[in-house]
Amino acid sequence: MTDETGRATDAQLLFSYGTLRQESVQQAVFGRLIEGRDASIVGYSQEWLAISDPAVIAASGSDRHPLLVPDPTAPPVPGTVFELTPAELAAADAYEVDDYERVQLPLDTGELAWVYVFAGSPA
């Protein structure tokens, strides 16, 4: 089922600023390449996280992944917004390590999207 714009009505918007934008990660997580469009998020700064999960490292090719932490003074963080099926969103959840949590946040486009942010308390 689609809406008047042709979008699937069950589509879930996911904003990625990191490895989910990589073709190798998309193939490993979703089994296909996902087209997206540019967007940014405000109120967060990008830091780096050391990853130890071997499957995540194999898919991304790195043990260092970006991580968003709340910071109201930070410049916008650029990324890509994807339209995913509920099953693909669940696959993205399985890919992300426990240091991330998925929350809905507004993008600079005015859309509300799921975003993986730091799951811990700010330092």
Q: What is the mean pLDDT of the chain?
A: 89
| Domain membership flag for residue 77 | yes
In tens, the pLDDT along 63-106 reads: 888 899 999 999 999 999 999 999 999 999 999 988 899 999 99
> By percentage, how much of the chain surpasses pLDDT 90?
69
Residue 1: per-residue pLDDT: 35
Query: Which of 104, 121, 110, 76 is closest to 15 using CA atoms?
Result: 104
Distance between CA atoms of 114 and 22, rounded to whole angstroms? 18
- How many domains, the chain? 1
Q: Report whether 38 contacts 103 (CB < 8 A).
A: no
CATH of the domain at 49: 3.10.490.10
Query: Which of 77, 83, 82, 57 is closest to 117 using CA atoms?
Result: 77
Of residues 1 and 14, more confidence is placed in 14
Q: Is residue 19 over pLDDT 60?
A: yes
| Domain membership flag for residue 28 | yes
Range of the domain at 109: 12-118
